């Protein structure tokens, strides 16, 4: 039997996932009251369940379903395994002989998610 997979969209990117896969995605928006900002008050936690509704395609090995653009009623469920930030990216702006030097760093937040169910 062929492996069942789905293509989901989150964070402006598309991911091909199967049950049991671990993917690294962009940080999800906080759940709860949007007026309260910050991970401590209303954010996701490790172990929380996440549902992806933007399913573009599902293939179970025998039948392929393609959405226009998304499949109505299709969901992919996952569990948050890790919340972290990526390695620092350093950006340096420099112009010779003009006393111009700027150094900035950025660490992109991400979630590691284990896909538990395709539906």
Residue by residue, DSSP assigns 28-97 as PPPPS-TTS-SHHHH---TT-EEEE--EEEEE-SS-EEE-SSS-TT--EEEEEEEEEEPPPEEEEEEETT
Tell me the percentage of the chain whose pLDDT exceeds 90: 73
- Residue 17: what pLDDT? 95
| Cα maximum dimension of the chain | 66
Which residues in the chain show pLDDT less than 70? 1-2, 31-42
Q: Are 6 and 51 in contact (CB under 8 A)?
A: no
Structure tokens at 61: 């090995």
Residue matched to tokens 């979630």: 111
Q: Which residues contact 63 (CB under 8 A, 6 or more apart)?
A: none
Question: Over the stretch 62-71, which tens digit does the pLDDT of each residue have?
Answer: 889 898 999 9
- Residue 39: what pLDDT? 45
Question: Over the stretch 42-61, which tens digit does the pLDDT of each residue have?
Answer: 578 999 999 999 999 999 88
Count the neighbouring beta carbons within 10 Å of the beta carbon of residue 70: 14
- Residue 41: what pLDDT? 47
């Amino acid at each position: 039997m062929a492996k069942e997979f789905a293509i989901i969209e989150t964070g402006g990117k598309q991911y091909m996932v199967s049950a049991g896969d671990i993917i690294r995605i962009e940080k999800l928006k906080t759940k709860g009251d949007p007026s309260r900002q910050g991970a401590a008050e209303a954010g996701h936690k490790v172990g929380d369940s996440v549902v992806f509704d933007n399913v573009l395609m599902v293939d179970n090995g025998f039948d392929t379903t393609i959405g226009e653009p998304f499949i109505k009623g299709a969901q992919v469920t996952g569990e948050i395994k890790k919340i972290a930030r990526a390695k620092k990216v350093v950006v340096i702006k420099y112009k010779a002989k003009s006393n111009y030097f700027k150094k900035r760093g950025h660490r992109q937040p991400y979630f590691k998610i284990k896909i538990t169910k395709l539906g």
